[in-house]
Chain A
């Protein structure tokens, strides 16, 4: 594996001169590489919040978001090697919601990986989700990159097991984003021990990509744009040269760089969330380098929702946001500045009015 990776890195040095590739249309990306076998892409769909009304009825708006993301992903050219689903498939974790969502995702023409969001978890603690999609945390290797999938939406045992009279109430309490009865997300000691062991077999030069539902960084606790043990997880990732964390939950464009770790958030297919700064009564810590998504126009049902096409050609992420009612955005790792940057809007002067949130 180390050898493969060295080859890959050598190749990447040669490929540095085509860094501008992220600006060319998706359909021509593959042509830029001498050895197409080294180049790979994947798609990322997240936060569909499929919501059961009753009987065979589901909230149409959220259904449409996922159906469209699946249909568009199936049209990708070049084809992605796999698809990641980033959690919150369901709104209240029920079997009808998970079944309905699973059926829609089953139409993807690619190998698909899944992770847990709090909306999938807190009804039956992920039991039915596991029947459909498998383990709550795991890792896999693909073309020289080590991928880690975390369940980052766990919380204190007392909150999970002792506080609520029913599972339904527990689910509802966690489902309200701004609910003061909620509880901070965490990866937890047991899973961190697993992660340490998992990473111990990985060469330090291997690119590592972590998928989680919550940000493995602290942005705003009030809405759980937050992972309580973020620093401890970051410490486990620190020894590696190239680390990327991709997370859902926040329903908006965010990106950041902490030490060697690049962070990217993904859009929801269901609905956008405000940036924490829009809540005037609390302080938050949005990464300063993030150029926000456009302010959502509610009159366009799919505005400020979307899905992602990700190019891993450098072992770092080029994130193409496929937005339904806005111009697509690309946030790519800039090797010169050592951080992810928007390829078009990063400089203050280049930003547009709808990117100003208040």
Chain B
């Protein structure tokens, strides 16, 4: 019995310590952490910018940036939104895929493909500071 109590107390204290420890740890990010996270993000933005200007995503040499300099007129802040021609409410990634398949005459990317995330990161970054406006046309 005493042994059981001991183990129960051990588990409870242990769990509490873990929770407290975890909580404390989450608060303890530093400027260096933020710098690293921003660096990681910007490296993907940079990769996205390179892809945006690259003919490699399609088959006809056309690149996203030919029609969308600085990713302008892509309006990532308006997604998800209803796209009549795509048959419903779609995400920004679905529209990127439409462009890859049509003007670029290429294949669509998986929605979680690293290249897709990079393209989305770049276009969204170029639109930073603009208020979210989902559904807007």
With A59-B60, A176-B53, A298-B99 known as contacts, the answer to whether A278 contacts B73 (CB < 8 A) is yes
CB <8 Å contact, A273 and B69: yes
Which residues does chain B contribute within 8 Å of A222, judged by CB atoms? 70
Which residues does chain A contribute within 8 Å of B69, judged by CB atoms? 176-178, 223, 273-274, 279
What 1/0 mask marks residues of chain B from 99 to 112 whose CB sits below 8 Å from any chain A CB?
Answer: 10011000000000
Residue of B nearest to A52 (CB): B61
Check: A24 CB closer than 8 A to any chain B CB.
no
Check: B129 CB closer than 8 A to any chain A CB.
yes
Residue of B nearest to A281 (CB): B126
Chain B: how many interface residues by the 8 Å CB criterion?
A: 24
Which residues does chain B contribute within 8 Å of A355, judged by CB atoms? none
Check: A140 CB closer than 8 A to any chain B CB.
no
What 1/0 mask marks residues of chain B from 124 to 137 whose CB sits below 8 Å from any chain A CB?
Answer: 00111110000000
Tell me the B50-67 residues at the A interface (CB within 8 Å). 53, 59-62, 65-67
With A280-B130, A299-B85 known as contacts, the answer to whether A274 contacts B68 (CB < 8 A) is yes
Q: Interface centre among A51, A222, A282, A357, by most B CB within 10 Å?
A: A51
Residue of B nearest to A177 (CB): B69
Residue of B60, B103, B127 touching A280 (CB-CB under 8 A):
B127
Chain A: how many interface residues by the 8 Å CB criterion?
A: 30
Which residues does chain B contribute within 8 Å of A358, judged by CB atoms? 75
Q: Interface centre among A57, A177, A295, A357, by most B CB within 10 Å?
A: A177
Residue of B nearest to A92 (CB): B61
Which 8 pairs, one residue from A and one from B, show the smallest C-beta to C-beta distance?
Answer: A178-B69, A274-B73, A274-B72, A278-B72, A177-B69, A299-B85, A279-B72, A279-B70
Name 20 interchain pairs, CB-CB below 8 A, sorted by A.
Answer: A53-B61, A57-B60, A59-B62, A91-B61, A176-B53, A178-B65, A179-B53, A271-B66, A271-B67, A271-B103, A273-B67, A273-B69, A274-B73, A276-B72, A279-B70, A279-B72, A280-B130, A295-B73, A298-B102, A357-B73
A interface residues, Cβ below 8 angstroms from B: 51-53, 57, 59-61, 91, 176-179, 222-223, 271-274, 276, 278-282, 295-296, 298-299, 357-358
